[in-house]
Amino acid sequence: MLKRYLLAPGPTPVPPEALMAMAMPIIHHRSPDFIPVLEAAKKGLQWLYQTTTDVLILCATGTGGMVGAVNNFFSAGDNVLVINGGKFGERWTEIGNAYHLAVQEISVEWGYTVNPHDIEKALKSDPSIKGVLVQASETSTGVYHDIEAIAAVVKKFENTILVVDAISGLVAHDLKMDAWGIDVLIGGSQKGLMLPPGLAFVGISDKAWAHADKATSPKFYFNLKKERESLKKNQTNFTSAVTLIIGLNECLKILQKEGLENAFKRHKILAHATREAIKALGLKLFSQESPSNSVTAICTPDGIDGQEIYKNLRGRYGITAAGGQGKARGNIFRIAHLGYAGPFDVITAIAGVEMVLKTMGYELTLGTGVAVAQELLMV
């Protein structure tokens, strides 16, 4: 028997409380039974997003939330600025092109974070830019972009909204939607929120809703105005993902019991221990600055394929981590410490990495990285 350990940056493990709740008999999404379920989810998401605005719930993956952010707030031909520093930055460009936006890019070398001054310079040079689209945590590179600083820049421009993909950033990082002035904040169920895939969450500011009034891009399923009207009645516009929303409430209860600040602190500690353990093994981090608390991207040693490390972790020891994506494929592997994660998840991951690398011919002393992680996790 090979026991499985899920240490990928999505899907992430689901707590037993949520699994048990989702195993209960199904209820109808238009019945009175479902109204308090959605009401609780609505309030819980506002707490997580640190906002007084409604957070819409879509039956979709996080990418559905990204699509909804493009087709609801922009029209064909609109100028938008994409921060492209990884595979998911590329996705913003691909979605923008699909809806015929005029996409400009600030290209950021993979492994680095965007300089907010470059964003300000671009917005000053082209006042027609209607949106800045960026990741909080760029999952493919393990980099966190400074959303607070970026928001401070964008809110100086009254005709420009800030759209943030926080799909892997929520819960792992403190993202203050109202206080910072984030206009559209997108989340997904299968990351820090500790659920199976299938839900996207979109928080929307008044400034962004004003853009929605003018946007002419086609929309049907991802019609956020209709979702907003439905949410006022504790409904979703189309069939609700009833089971997932029931599980969402259980996960929100867990996070509320822990407290937001403690959740942020936990992720920061787990990420720090992972990085220091990896460095103790003589390995290099792929993120050269501002590493994410969600996932650690690790450069592979010379002569070793990162995809083989990923495959061996799973095949030999049952550890599902992640390989590299796009142009980083084969050059890195990634370990998540996100959502329903604790100290022994990190210790397991580091132990597995040591064992795999040793079998692949990399010289190390077993237990070196584990010992470092143990010291840092004894808090």
Same domain, 190 and 273: no
Q: Tell me which residue of 127, 126, 88 sits closest to 108, measured CA to CA.
A: 88
HSE, CB side, 13 Å, CA atoms: give it for residue 249: 18
How many residues can be counted in the chain? 379
Helix (H, G, I), strand (E, B) or coil at 239: coil
CATH number reported for the structural domain that contains residue 156 in this entry: 3.40.640.10
CATH number reported for the structural domain that contains residue 373 in this entry: 3.90.1150.10
Same domain, 333 and 301: yes
pLDDT tens for residues 179-195? Answer: 999 999 999 999 999 99
Same domain, 253 and 106: yes
Q: Are 42 and 54 in contact (CB under 8 A)?
A: yes
The amino acid present at 260, given as its one-letter code, is L
Same domain, 226 and 114: yes
**Per-residue b/e over 76-105, b at no fewer than 16 CB within 10 Å?**
eebbbbbbbbbbbbbbbbebbeebebebbb
**Per-residue b/e over 155-192, b at no fewer than 16 CB within 10 Å?**
bebeebbbbbbbbbbbbbbbbebeebbbbbbbbbbbbb
The amino acid present at 361, given as its one-letter code, is G
Same domain, 104 and 177: yes
User: How much is the mean pLDDT over the chain?
Assistant: 97
pLDDT of residue 379: 75
225, 257, 289 - which closes a domain: 257
Same domain, 253 and 275: no
Same domain, 296 and 173: no
Same domain, 132 and 264: no
Q: Tell me which residue of 329, 212, 339 sits closest to 267, measured CA to CA.
A: 339
Beta-bridged to residue 330, according to DSSP, are none
Query: What is the span of the domain harbouring residue 125?
Result: 16-257
Number of domains comprising the chain: 2
Same domain, 20 and 89: yes
Cα torsion angle, 226, 231, 234, 238, sign: positive
242, 257, 272 - which closes a domain: 257
257, 291, 324 - which closes a domain: 257
CA terminus-to-terminus distance, the chain:
33
pLDDT of residue 91: 97
What is the C-alpha to C-alpha distance for residues 269 and 164, in angstroms, rounded to an integer?
A: 24
Same domain, 36 and 123: yes
Same domain, 80 and 135: yes
Low-confidence ranges of the chain (pLDDT < 50): none
Phi first, then psi, for residue 300 (nearest 5°) are -80, 145
Q: Tell me which residue of 321, 318, 333, 342 sits closest to 283, measured CA to CA.
A: 333
pLDDT of residue 239: 95
| DSSP structural state of residue 291 | B
Q: Is 303 exposed, middle or buried (0-12, 13-18, 19+ CB in 10 A)?
A: exposed
Same domain, 335 and 231: no
Helix (H, G, I), strand (E, B) or coil at 336: strand
Phi first, then psi, for residue 5 (nearest 5°) are -130, 120
Q: Are 183 and 203 in contact (CB under 8 A)?
A: no
Q: Which residues touch 263 (CB under 8 Å, ≥6 apart)? A: 171, 255
